[in-house]
Structure 1
Amino acid sequence: MSLRRLGSTDIFLSPLGLGTVKLGRDQGVKYPNGFTIPDDKQALALINQARALGINLIDTAPAYGESENRLGPLLKGQRQDWVICSKVGEEFNQGQSSFNFTPEHARFSVERSLKRLHTDCIDIVLVHSNGEDQHIIEHFGILELLADLKAEGKIRAFGMSTKTIEGGLLAAQKSDAVMVTYNLNERSERCVIDYCATNNKGVLIKKALASGHICQAPDKANLESSAPTADQDPIAASMEFVFTTPGITSAIVGTINPAHLALNVEKAQAVLKAAK
């Protein structure tokens, strides 16, 4: 897969990224089916498979339970092969999420993530919003703190994982990139993507497959509006929908199933090849 520049930064990403919430947390997640967190051997095999398939973006967060702690040792010897995206703002302890958007906590969180990930620089750090995007941006100074950490060389790019249109637009104005929800069933944040495309900002997509729900019970009406036929493979339709939208840098897929990972890459590559 050809790499794509993240906005105006010097970071280049594969069109698909590997999400790692399932490496560290199985509570309070919104997937349609339960799953077993893979052991280290299985997790390393998945990471190696993703790298062999051309994926170079790996997405994690303190809110993903033990994900960061596990990735540090698992990426030993291959750190240079990966662009790591982590987050600040949300914590997950004893089965519960909590939020802290103060600059002091954000700095603490980044320093802790550096240690957990066994690295001296995190490529991308995003604010993990609780849904109050504008309030967080306007009242806490957290994006300014991340800009300071970028100037200090502790991170290479920063932005926000948003949940509102207004927050996404404001975050895009003040940072390098945003992460937005965009899939066959959820399209309201398209205007944020359009803004980023016009203003050379990076766009990461979360829930490109609606956390697996599109594969379970695709919305026929939505599929019909984006695909040639209503019975088209939902994964192919989803990849076509995402990767024919201008401005998107990369989409995160959080699978721990090797066959699903290979299929996701195959479908994405088919769309990307046809678009050339």
Structure 2
Amino acid sequence: MKLALGTVQFGLAYGAFNRNGQVTESETANILERAKAAGINLLDTAHAYGNSESVLGSLDAASRFRVVTKLPALNDDLANRATELFSESLRRLRVQRVYGLLLHRAADLLGPNADDIWKKLQDQRERGFVQRIGFSAYGPTEALEVLRRYPVELIQLPLNVFDTRHIDSGLLEICKSRGIEVHARSIFLQGFAIGNPAELVGHLAKYRDVLERFQARCRDLKLTPMQAALRFALDLPQVDQVVIGVESCKQLEEILTATRAEPLPTSAFKDLNSDDLALVDPSLWAAKA
């Protein structure tokens, strides 16, 4: 199963299009049970996702799924605590080891503490606490520079019909040639891709025409926006896992159903690609609201 389950909503009321707040622990248990039954075998979490790791730990999720977690942004004060922070994540998850450990910020491998941070990641892998180490990317420039410096084994990056920067830069091909595992996130662009153009507010309202054109293309292809967004990422051969987040079992069921759509070529939405960071980088949305 190429789908992986993101868990930020289990620890925070996350997402610009989130209407239900943080997922309850009982609903989280239901989601995990349905995900496992569907063949999903990987969970994506992070030290910075509120109490997500603790919720997963209380539900013994790591006994049923592979887990990837992330260290928080390691400023000068936290760089020396990288090992301690990872140990905290293991305690919260109630496990002795995880599948993947990522830096939440690629810039940590470009700053003055980069070599020391990388050595700490390597040490955790060599001691058997993690299988693959790497980082979470936000843009291709930083990601490519990190790949020039370190033998990364796992990378997570944003990828959707509007944001193909990591494809266009050649980064995905580089990862494939080096055997670097790629996890794609933000395939719905926090819900923008499957939203109602008429309900867009704040600075996103100026992108109504972008969303309308995408949805019109979906109708031409006889696909729902959810089907199109999913197939776009799932059909990329360089992508190993597609991370999706849900707020309920109902949403997960809708996504599982949508994955059954027929494959489509990447070029189907090529004219909708955008380099406008105000649209494709959700971390900027709050500042522009």
Which interval holds the TM-score relative to the shorter structure? 0.7 to 0.9
Q: Give CA-to-partner distance per residue, 1:144-177, whole Å, 9 cap, x none.
A: 3211110011111111001121222244452101
Alignment map for 1:1-276 (pairs within 5 Å): 14-26=1-13, 29-75=14-60, 79-90=62-73, 99=75, 103-129=79-105, 132=107, 135-136=110-111, 139=114, 141-172=116-147, 174-190=151-167, 191-216=170-195, 217=197, 219-222=211-214, 229=220, 232-271=223-262
| Distance in 2 between residues matched to 1:57 and 1:179, nearest whole Å | 13
Could you tell me how far 1:245 is from its partner in structure 2? Answer: 1.5
Residues 261 and 168 from structure 1, CA distance in 2 versus in 1: closer, same or farther, beyond 3 angstroms?
same
Question: 2:56 is matched by which residue type in structure 1?
Answer: L
User: CA offset at residue 100 of structure 1?
Assistant: 5.9
Displacement of 1:142 in angstroms is 2.0
Unaligned runs of 5+ in 1: 1-13, 91-97
Question: CA, structure 1 residues 134+230, in 2 after alignment: closer, same or farther (shift >3 Å)?
Answer: farther
Q: 2:178 corresponds to which letter in structure 1?
A: N
Deviations 1:242-272 (A, max 9, x none): 1221210001111122122112122224457
Question: Does the aligned pair in 2 maintain the 1:204–1:248 contact within 8 Å?
Answer: yes
3-state SS in 2 of match to 1:159: strand
SS of the residue 2:68 aligns to: strand
SS in 2 for 1:175: coil
Larger radius of gyration: 2
Looking at structure 2, the residues matched to 68 and 100 of structure 1 have their Cα atoms a distance apart, in angstroms, of 24
Distance 1:257 1:25 in 2: 14
Equivalence for 2:285: none
Query: As a proportion of its length, which structure holds more strand?
Result: 1
Q: TM-score scaled by structure 2?
A: 0.77
Structure 2 Cα separation of the partners of residues 272 and 237 of structure 1: 9
Q: CA 1:32–1:228 in 2, change beyond 3 Å: closer, same or farther?
A: closer
How much identity, in percent, do the aligned residues show? Answer: 21
**Contact preservation (8 Å) 1:179, 1:205:** yes
Quick one: distance in 2 between partners of 1:159 and 1:203?
Answer: 10
Aligned counterparts of 1:138 and 1:204: Cα–Cα separation in 2? 25
Q: Is the 8 A contact 1:133 1:168 kept in 2?
A: no
CA separation of 1:272 and 1:231: change in aligned 2, threshold 3 A: closer
> In the aligned structure 1, how far is the partner of 2:101 from the partner of 2:112?
15
**In 2, are the aligned partners of 1:21 and 1:64 still within 8 Å (CA)?**
yes
Structure 2 residue ranges without an equivalent (≥5): 198-209, 266-289
Query: In 2, Cα distance between the equivalents of 1:113 and 1:221?
Result: 42
Matched AA of 2:117: I
